[in-house]
Structure 1
């Protein structure tokens, strides 16, 4: 069997999507405090390792194997990918793995600064198995919400080209559930110590995410025309969302910020994900404008309702995912002159189908994540101690620090302490060093 352009494009796209998870780690790592940035990045990286193994063993089979009541694929249909060796489906298995990896990694941003790394490592494979795989099967693998499935047969064909339900709504909902189980960070809403510590990291991470998102959305395109539409929409929606977020920020808070620009672009990418192949470029611009402004407002709701969504996963991914998925009921393009959203004369059928898909996703991801989260919280414990949270989870969970300024000389936290020459610190301030300047300098250098 000769390799085709479609095979090559899917492999390239898979590499682009895989790059998105380290980019997410950079994006999230910049948004946290310095003393939690490595832990944040590690939560993304460990997701690559764990999900990569799970997907080969049973994850791919559960997302596309022989149907079990239309809810999930049989985990033994393609266990270990043995049945797809020598088939183009092996490329699809690799491509789909990258989606699963970044979906669970997205959740980690909501629980930054206070989560046990070991408990997160236990959560990842269970969540992928019980939440992500069933949803992926239902929407893309021949299940309830796929073409010909029970939901589509009753309510109409559900549209979700690249993961508005499977990726965005599921991760946003699960993030909210974990936040409620964990509780708020110490000092949340009362001080400024939870501000992002590295804006350039955030901007760079967002840029790489946008780059990878072209593979995320367009990797499954089957024609040149479809790929072109997806590419342009993946440019247009986040561009418009960035502008509308900044305008909203300027009106509400007085200044357009770098963080707002990065967050706005991501909000637009989230919103266009389910609809990238089914709306016009003008529709993508309109969708981006709405998503950027709406998500800029959504992220502030955590202060109003008192839940500590550390890095705005709920506001951006749940909010943007809902907007993008439901918008298809209004602006979906007709296919061969038939159907389409309400604005194209298609009636309410598409909106009803999209709403049903959203409700199923919210229910499954919310309830199952609650069971998983509570079970881990009651056994291993999800949250670090108060002392470790104050000191920083980089130290307590990894014995590392993103920035070394001599403050980690204790061997418990610094395995390289014997190999580093440290500058001596005077026991008391000298005549040219005012009292208190050492303490001020230390506080500045910890980036806490």
Structure 2
């Protein structure tokens, strides 16, 4: 069963591109990443392609920009600049539930949603990177159960504040993690309040998404697992009385384009050669908790590495990414050398090929019920984004999978348009008596 009649398509703005060496094959300058012109140009290109949204991740810690220049601007500051250069484009920014105050964040994001005409979305994350804690005067991040317990209360408080905005009503919350007594005096925005996204593939992340998220950045690498993940999210939403169509699942998809497959492969190889030495090995090893360079490159990853038991409560990386990467390695475990060569998405699925091949892959996952759309992770900016807009989007449009023009002006309105027979995602919840899994499987 296909997830809907139209794709949701966004683009992940990752510095000069998803490839670490993107800056080495384009006419760009380091200061571009801290000025408005670069980001506003990307926004205009994305809007020319009628994309739903641009997305900024956030990692509020010091990193080595020589490896990959990312996160030099606070997400919502950059998004406000992009908003000034666009009219329809959605704006998705990341903010931590662990290292923010819910009242201040609710007020700040609703304010930005108001001035952008109802185009804002919040990607709620719990922050697992241990390097972040020191910036906030802590010795380490809280453990996973504590982070997600706070996140559940935090998102609940923020959404209650938004829904009561301008009414004069006070939100009173006394929980194990938070105590809040506050109100917002701003009126609702054109879309009511910002759309809520969630990024996390763990069991706790899925539960959080089922309760609150309207968009989910998933991390599946294989088709069957992606289908099951989407079904599980929809089932979880239905069990608590939400309409399953109100949750859009948008996996990351890395793309390297060429006019021929050979040209795309040559570009991919060139970008890998120019990347910092050992980048792919280090990234793969971080998910597998092993130094990949110590393994025999001609042999598969040993079972003892893949079967290793971890303490999920104290695990300091993304549990969802680890699970999906381990599953992918098991399915493709011919040799360490082959795995490193194929691990070009650095944790996201990757398609290296022609515009038709990229469109075919998007269509396959969409019609299989593995995704409602994709968060595109493009090799290099601005060049790669222009290629997607000029060569891939027209194919998807001609196949009837993507819009020819913007309809609803708000981001939430466009999300509702992808399922025109279902209720508006921000209306009252409806009960679903038949499980989503049963309905969708019977429809196949």
**Structure of greater Rg:** 1
Q: Does the alignment reach a TM-score above 0.5?
A: no
Structure with a larger share of its residues in strand: 2
The structure in which a higher percent of residues are helix is 1
Identify the structure with bigger relative contact order (alpha carbons < 8 Å, sequence gap 6+).
2
Q: TM-score range by the shorter chain?
A: under 0.3
Normalising by structure 1, report the TM-score. 0.24
